[in-house]
Amino acid sequence: MSETTPDASHAAHARDAADVKTWHREADVVVVGGGGAGVCAALEARDAGAEVLVLERAWKPGGTSAQASGQLYMGGGTPLQKACGFEDDPEEMYKYLVASCGPGADEEKIRVYCERSVEHYHWITGRGVPFKQTFLPVEVGTDPDTDDGLSYTGSELAYPFCEIAKPAPRGHTAQQEGENAGLMMMETLLAQLEPAGVSVQCDTICEPLISDHEGRVVGVVATVNGEEQCIRARRGVVLTAGGYIHNKAMLERYAPVTRRVRFRLGCDGDDGRGIRMGMGVGGDAIRMEAACIVVPFSRNRQFVKGVLVNAVGQRFCAEDLYQSLLGEIGMWREDGKIYLVLDDALYEQPQLPTEILAVGESFAELEAEAAIFPQGSLVHTLETYNRDAAAGADTLFHKDARWLDPLAKPPYVVLDLSLEKYPFWSAFTLGGLHTRPTGEVLDADGEVVPGLYAAGRNASGMPAHGYNSGLSLADATFSGRLAGVAAAAHTD
Amino acid sequence: MSETTPDASHAAHARDAADVKTWHREADVVVVGGGGAGVCAALEARDAGAEVLVLERAWKPGGTSAQASGQLYMGGGTPLQKACGFEDDPEEMYKYLVASCGPGADEEKIRVYCERSVEHYHWITGRGVPFKQTFLPVEVGTDPDTDDGLSYTGSELAYPFCEIAKPAPRGHTAQQEGENAGLMMMETLLAQLEPAGVSVQCDTICEPLISDHEGRVVGVVATVNGEEQCIRARRGVVLTAGGYIHNKAMLERYAPVTRRVRFRLGCDGDDGRGIRMGMGVGGDAIRMEAACIVVPFSRNRQFVKGVLVNAVGQRFCAEDLYQSLLGEIGMWREDGKIYLVLDDALYEQPQLPTEILAVGESFAELEAEAAIFPQGSLVHTLETYNRDAAAGADTLFHKDARWLDPLAKPPYVVLDLSLEKYPFWSAFTLGGLHTRPTGEVLDADGEVVPGLYAAGRNASGMPAHGYNSGLSLADATFSGRLAGVAAAAHTD
């Protein structure tokens, strides 16, 4: 049933303030959701002098940010970039993000973020989140289990982006060995809420919002232990309740392409409730079809030297594009049907957990055994690739020379990376409430919904059709901060 | 400014019924917009016994339907299909539409429509719209200036659709020579409003909706000669105010890919006002990124025998796919960069009004003169194509054998069909309010917004990512009828 949400949620049916009999609790700023955006909104609102209450649905805050790998996309000349010997400036960062996050990238948000990214680095580190002052070389990969601070987490070095903007590594990973740097970052930030005087109430499911006769959001209905409470927000409500990757009905309605990706990245709370709460008071949800779709085939970086082909045996893009851009191209353009060709020199442990479609001592034998490509197509593709690689220039897609070796050591192999066979395709949603960089939520006419702010994946952030790792924590922490400031600033 | 609509519209800011001092006029069912959906909603609501008022923004009704070519996608065994010797049934029509209108096609709407399509044919013809009982052969084209009634207006004969469902022509074109059959159809339907007792008030701009304390839509604010009037709807409001192709701010927010297509199909009223009115009372707008994008290169049907290539000289799809599917593939997959290769046998008048990128006596000379394709790529593509054509089977994309002749008569030519150079790319939006097949508008939780109905392009209809000509008039007339019936049926 696409018409009802799984949990019969009534997030979109706003409550009239005139119908509120008792206000159970109140604060200046009420933050719905204690993930990365929520905690940053709360800290900044509190710093601005507001009384702040964070309502968290789970038994403890953290959200999807606490499950993330702790990468923040930052740049423009951060101390970490400088310590590692990389030059960067806000303009190059801006040009890169606009080019890689579109069409539909929010240029205004990107502009503000690029101009303040260094300041944001200082804010994050000032809050106690450490970054080891070391660079992880691109040949090693993007998210191995090291504690290095800086790495490339996008397509900065790949064509055409390397010609559009001067490349610089901008993935800033909080210092923690293994993959739970996001948890460490969140625990560091969350630990500051109580000392700062921010109240956090867990096990509290919020929906819907409460608005007054003028359409101003003045609070939120919360359910605690099965009991309904009305929480008043004197200055504003900040929605930071995440995306909607775990709401199948919403995926079917808004993002049928993303819906096909089975491995969904997010915590249980990413059911779009916050987005629907905002819509219930007139908030406009935009770019709802947009998603980060990842096909992580290159964690073994050797594989970037392989050849990606589509269902008719053609190459379709440069293999050194970032894994999230490859995933989006693979789904929107190639319908999830993509294959990786390696030679014996590249085929080494650890292998990708997927089917071997074919093995052959020659390209012709490989194509014949694969039995899915038009006759001669794969052979032509590989011969062309080898000729280009030998000459040192990828004439089709300009893969960087560092990844360009002829496939010369038989046997050759075709790995099946199609959506049907390769289980590691993953996705999360990028669409959400339309906000100004300040976090003010806009309605379908482009006008502000008074009293309402949104941040993180509850809003549509910087990227639309295009993604770089670290942009979600960047959007969460930075847009959270701005929303907290804006909400606290309101006075009647 | 993407934040404000061009005309500073306040469609999304719903009016509280408690603030209405005077109801200037009332009816059982108020229809906003007198295009194809509106007139059908009005006729059916009136037939069901309701007092009906149609509010039209322009000086006369008709809307985009009156500018259309008068094609309705109908099938399942219509009298016209039978008269022309074609078998069809609702199940084959259903399978075809689900396959060609997705991902994200509204299977429930398609199901209802396929089951009732023959009945709908009788309703339309019963209202006086004539269809000449003749078939226009596929070799001639889809919309030439003849008055033939039946033709293929989709990809039914093309792979893979021809293997998914038994093909049948389903484009039913109202009988009129030239391209203004839509006007004739609309004039025929509109002429019945007054005799039926439906009131039509023109020069009336509607916004916003009026809802009561319970969230029920009870009327609409209308502006007539600069004066604001409140129009009460006792049973329901039906929004039939079209799509949003003429609202740049909405295109930027929701459909950045479509935004790039410069020739926008629709009447002035297609500014999304009706969609925003619905959103203002909690209506959910879905598949807002979806659009019909047409690259009409095959009106000279000979050109289907040409070879389409992308920016790197590869073929990317079968050339006999329907022009709207080609347009969507061309934009979403190939970034609007597509080229058509012809030989001298195909290159005849009338030509396409675009740049000739290259002319050559051989494929190698053609590729060299074009100077944009990787070395050898176009030559390989054309040699492969010619080999396939000589053997009678397109091994890459299964173009039907009827269109498969080797390009054998030099000189050869490359026509530039890219978005930058070819001015005939055109588009209109498909996204709109989320409705049940009945026209009931749903909110973000999937629940009905009481008193509100939407039809035509004001709603998201049958197609999502995929389009066949005639589906817009089909959606308009059929969903309009159902919405009219549903609105009239409401009693307190």
> What CATH number is associated with residue B41?
3.50.50.60
Question: In whole angstroms, what is the distance from residue A39 CA to residue B366 CA?
Answer: 61
* Domain match, B78 and B29 both: no
- Look at A287 and B446 and tell me if their CB atoms are within 8 Å: no
* Domain match, B138 and B262 both: no
For residue A100, give the 3-state DSSP assignment: helix
Q: Is residue B7 part of a domain?
A: no
Question: In whole angstroms, what is the distance from residue A187 CA to residue B187 CA?
Answer: 68
Structural domain range at position A152: 71-179
Chain B residues in contact with A259 (beta carbon < 8 A): 103
A5 touches chain B (CB under 8 A): yes
Name beta bridge partners: B286.
B432
Which conformational region is residue B128 in: left (phi greater than 0), alpha (psi within -120 to 50 degrees), or beta?
left
> What CATH number is associated with residue A345?
3.90.700.10
- Look at A256 and B103 and tell me if their CB atoms are within 8 Å: yes
Sequence-distant (≥ 6) Cβ neighbours of residue A63 within 8 angstroms: A33, A34, A35, A36, A38, A186, A242, A267, A269
Strands B25-32 and B227-239: parallel
Residue B144's pLDDT is 65
Please count the residue pairs, one from chain A and one from chain B, whose beta carbons lie less than 8 angstroms apart. 152
pLDDT band at residue A62 under the 50/70/90 scheme: very high
Residue of B nearest to A310 (CA): B316
Q: List the one residue out of B116, B434, B148, B321 whose CA is nearest residue A2.
A: B434
Cβ atoms of B112 and B97 closer than 8 Å: no
Strand ordering across the sheet containing A338-342 = A307-310, A338-342, A412-416, A356-360
B367 touches chain A (CB under 8 A): no
Chain A residues in contact with B284 (beta carbon < 8 A): 12, 253, 279
Distance of CA A319 to the CA centre of its chain: 21
Chain B residues in contact with A10 (beta carbon < 8 A): 445, 447
Q: Is residue B448 part of a domain?
A: yes
Q: Is residue A1 part of a domain?
A: no
Chain A contact probe: residue of B13, B317, B445 with most A CBs at under 10 A: B445
Least reliable range by pLDDT among A2-6, A428-432, B83-87, B161-165: A2-6
- Look at B213 and A16 and tell me if their CB atoms are within 8 Å: yes
| Residue type for position A422 | Y
Angle separating helix axes B480-489 and B107-126, nearest 10 degrees? 90
- Look at A443 and B103 and tell me if their CB atoms are within 8 Å: no
Q: Which residues of chain B register pLDDT less than 70?
A: 1-8, 142-144, 349-350, 492
Q: Is residue A8 part of a domain?
A: no
* Domain match, B135 and B189 both: no
Domain end marker among B154, B179, B204: B179
> Which residue reads 């379908």 in tokens?
A444
| Residue type for position A66 | A
- Look at B103 and A374 and tell me if their CB atoms are within 8 Å: no
pLDDT band at residue A69 under the 50/70/90 scheme: confident
Q: Is residue B45 part of a domain?
A: yes
* Domain match, A200 and A258 both: yes
Taking a contact as any Cβ pair under 8 Å apart, which residues of chain A between 300 and 319 contact chain B?
Answer: 312, 314
| Residue type for position B142 | T
pLDDT band at residue A8 under the 50/70/90 scheme: low
Residue A177's pLDDT is 78
- Look at A254 and B287 and tell me if their CB atoms are within 8 Å: yes
User: What's the Cα-to-Cα distance from B84 to each of A128, A432, B77, B330, B349, rounded to whole Å?
Assistant: 77, 50, 11, 33, 31
Cβ atoms of B275 and A444 closer than 8 Å: yes
Question: In whole angstroms, what is the distance from residue A118 CA to residue A335 CA?
Answer: 39
Domain end marker among B381, B416, B451: B416
* Domain match, B362 and B384 both: yes
Taking a contact as any Cβ pair under 8 Å apart, which residues of chain B between 195 and 234 contact chain A?
Answer: 213, 215
Q: Could you report the per-residue pLDDT of A158-187, keeping only the tens digit for each? A: 999 999 999 999 999 999 877 789 999 999
Q: What is the DSSP letter of A230?
A: E
| Residue type for position B79 | P
Question: In whole angstroms, what is the distance from residue A239 CA to residue A275 CA?
Answer: 8
* Domain match, B211 and B75 both: no
A15 touches chain B (CB under 8 A): no
- Look at A396 and B312 and tell me if their CB atoms are within 8 Å: yes
Q: Could you report the per-residue pLDDT of A361-390, keeping only the tens digit for each? A: 999 999 999 999 999 999 999 999 999 999
Chain B residues in contact with A1 (beta carbon < 8 A): 446
Q: Is residue A330 part of a domain?
A: yes
- Look at B282 and A102 and tell me if their CB atoms are within 8 Å: no
What is the gyration radius of the CA atoms in chain A, in angstroms?
Answer: 24
Domain end marker among A179, A195, A229: A179
* Domain match, A146 and A279 both: no
Q: Is residue A242 part of a domain?
A: yes
Q: Could you report the per-residue pLDDT of A81-135, keeping only the tens digit for each? A: 999 999 999 999 999 999 999 889 999 999 999 999 999 999 999 999 999 999 9
Instruction: Taking the CA atoms of A51, A53, A54 and A60 in sequence, report the sign of the dihedral they define.
Output: positive
Q: Is residue A10 part of a domain?
A: no
* Domain match, B86 and B99 both: yes
Mean pLDDT of chain A: 94
Residue of A nearest to B450 (CA): A13
- Look at A279 and B276 and tell me if their CB atoms are within 8 Å: no
* Domain match, B204 and B226 both: yes
pLDDT band at residue A352 under the 50/70/90 scheme: confident
Residue A140's pLDDT is 76
Q: List the one residue out of A62, A59, A25 whose CA is nearest residue A205.
A: A59
Residue A4's pLDDT is 38
Selecting from B253, B395, B442 the residue whose C-beta is nearest the C-beta of A375 gives B395
- B228-265: buried (b, 16+ CB within 10 Å) or exposed (e) per residue? ebbbbbbbbbbbbbbbbbbbbbbbbbbbbbbbbbeebb
Chain A contact probe: residue of B289, B308, B436 with most A CBs at under 10 A: B289
- Look at B10 and A445 and tell me if their CB atoms are within 8 Å: yes
Question: In whole angstroms, what is the distance from residue A366 CA to residue A372 CA?
Answer: 11
- Look at A280 and B284 and tell me if their CB atoms are within 8 Å: no
User: What's the Cα-to-Cα distance from A19 to each of A14, A235, A414, A452, B218, rounded to whole Å?
Assistant: 11, 20, 64, 19, 20
Least reliable range by pLDDT among A2-16, A19-33, A56-70: A2-16
And the tokens for A199?
A: 């109240």
And the tokens for B360?
A: 């050559």
Chain B residues in contact with A375 (beta carbon < 8 A): 395
Question: In whole angstroms, what is the distance from residue B221 CA to residue A33 CA?
Answer: 37
Domain total in chain B: 3
Q: What is the DSSP letter of B14?
A: P
* Domain match, A376 and A309 both: yes
B376 touches chain A (CB under 8 A): yes
Instruction: Taking the CA atoms of A268, A269, A270 and A271 in sequence, report the sign of the dihedral they define.
Output: positive
Selecting from A103, A213, A397 the residue whose C-beta is nearest the C-beta of B16 gives A213
Residue A348's pLDDT is 76
- State yes or no: pLDDT of A142 exceeds 70: no
Residue B5's pLDDT is 43
And the tokens for B112?
A: 């209802």
* Domain match, B92 and B59 both: no
- Pairwise pLDDT comparison (B469 vs A492), residue with the higher score: B469
* Domain match, A332 and A355 both: yes
Residue B349's pLDDT is 65
- Look at A447 and B215 and tell me if their CB atoms are within 8 Å: no
